[in-house]
Amino acid sequence: MKKKVIQSVLAMFLVFGLLNSPVFAATAQQPVMSVISVDLPVYSAFDQLSDPGNHTHLADLTYNTQVIVLSEKDYAAQIQTTDGTVTGWVHKAYLSNKVTDQTWLVKQGRNLRADPSTANPPIGFISDNSMVYVLDYNSSAKFYKIQTSDGKVGWIKGTYQRDDGTEYGGGRNVIPYEFGKKDTATTNISIYTPLNTKANVTADQINKYIQYKTNGVKTLMTGLGSTYLQAQTVTRVNAVYLLAHSGLESKWGTSAIASNKYNFYGIHATDLQPMDSAYDYSTPTNGIIAGAEFISDTYVNRDQSNTADYPFAQPTLDNMRFNDNLHQYSTDEAWASKIANLIKEFNTFTYTKGWKQIAGQWYFNNGDGTYKTGWLNVGGKWYYFKSGGVMQTGWLYTGGQWYYLNSSGAMQTGWLYTGGKWYYLNTSGTMQKGWKLIGSKWYFFYSDGHMAANTKIGKYRLGSNGAMI
């Protein structure tokens, strides 16, 4: 009887096409994810999500909405809510397996309350710079339901407040924050990573990535690797973040604002009059370092000592962009995700082992951020990399011997015809000189390695093919 009932239900689904509906199909393919943004925009297409001038929202998802990921592209995901009412594209950094996977920072201490209001006395207090988990969010009251690491649960106010309890008119006092990366050295930067961290990178690694992004074309950012490291030292702001931020805003040193004002970070470049309003930094070096100081003082390391108004830092990409409409760095809703995606690309480029083409030249990455020099066997073929890591082609003199690397960089052995002359390279790749028995025939090679032909060497005559007659 049970089997017949199940068969009848399945038959009904098939008749009405329910098994092929987006909800059922997606559920069968992908796990359910939770929204960890208090207000997550949904866009109809990836292009609308990524286009800074065309952010049209299909919907805005509330905290802990359950969604299914249908596909992914770059820093975005195509999702569908589990009830099937909304399908579109979102920033995938705002999705998590469960809400308690993400830690949050409470910047300024708050009273802990039993409900999302100030009507009743507090039940506790959450100290400055505390780590909490966010369980829920009340958007009308702007209260967060939080859980502390020792299990206390309650509601706290989420906006900036003065000492007398009045509000500044916005600002997010509770933000997603990766405590595990605080005060560390890292290049693994998400939109929730504190930016007042250190990147243990070299100027050469930064310069190679700039070359890669500009296809070898010289721009105002070319060769500024050491300047980014200096900016990091001066400001305590991560150099790889500064690199990605300036690359995005200045189109890798080619934008009009960068060209005319050495303003690489788009500082004070308003949407209506970006050129007129942007700061002028006078030199490329000043543009990188003084620009980083501005970002440090007014966002990442902001406090009472460097600002006359509210003393609250905005230490993450997410918080720099989304701060409850108060003091936000960019109007592009994808700004934070784009920078984090560039940082991810930098890490892949810098730390993935294998071949890299930079500015038309080939290198071999050792997988630790360094590049191979000298001889290397790859796939049974020998290659040679010069002191800067560039793959050698053509003639190479090393170790007292001549070698020839073909156009693919592989070491040549056997007969070689180049420059209108014949040469012979043994199985070790070294160019041969003097008399050599090759196969069953004798040949003679001059001191520069090219083969003698149609001539006489001592008492021996050589034919047109170079073989002794």
> Has residue 10 got a pLDDT over 70?
no
Instruction: Convert the pLDDT of each residue in 134-157 to its tens digit.
Output: 999 999 999 999 999 999 999 999
Residue 75 identity (one-letter amino acid) = Y
Given pLDDT bands bounded at 50, 70 and 90, which one contains residue 14? very low
Specify the pLDDT at position 317: 98
pLDDT digits (tens, 9 = 90+) for 97-129: 999 999 999 999 999 999 999 999 999 999 999
- CB 447, CB 455: distance < 8 Å: no
- pTM for this model (two decimals): 0.88
Q: What is the mean pLDDT of residues 367-389?
A: 96
Q: Is the pLDDT of residue 313 over 70?
A: yes
Of 64 and 168, the one with more pLDDT: 64
Angle (CA) 241-177-30 rounded to 5° is: 95
pLDDT bucket at 54, cuts 50 / 70 / 90: confident
Answer whether residue 21 shows pLDDT above 80.
no
Tally Cβ neighbours within 10 Å of residue 85: 9
